[in-house]
Amino acid sequence: MIREFEPPPRSRVQFGPQASSLGEAEEGPIKTVWVYVNTSKEVGDVDHLKVVATEEAAAKWLAENDPEGVAFEYDVIE
């Protein structure tokens, strides 16, 4: 596991530079997703990446599956 390349943990759900304001989901297409990377799994393993549509879903998934994990926000390319 390579931890020196990971940013220091601050919050369990991290926002990118163009994060929208928190609150209720906007109507329309998804503009960002939250991505969790399980560094103990190999690339291609079904549990290596988890992509989540909302901040609330990411926080819930982390609480239930990896309380010390972090999800990062990424823009969806249209």
User: Comparing C-alpha atoms, which of 3, 10, 5, 74 is closest to residue 36?
Assistant: 74
Higher pLDDT, 7 or 61: 61
The predicted structure's pLDDT at residue 29: 83
| 3 DSSP 8-state letter | -
pLDDT at 13 over 60: no
**What does the pLDDT average to over 14-27?**
48
Task: Select from 59, 55, 51, 49 the least CA-distant residue to 76.
Answer: 51
Reported as a single tens digit per residue, the pLDDT across 46-59 is 999 999 999 999 99
- pTM of whole model > 0.75? no
The pLDDT value recorded for residue 15 is 52
Average per-residue pLDDT in the chain? 77
User: Which residue in the block uniquely carries the two structure tokens 């819930």?
Assistant: 60
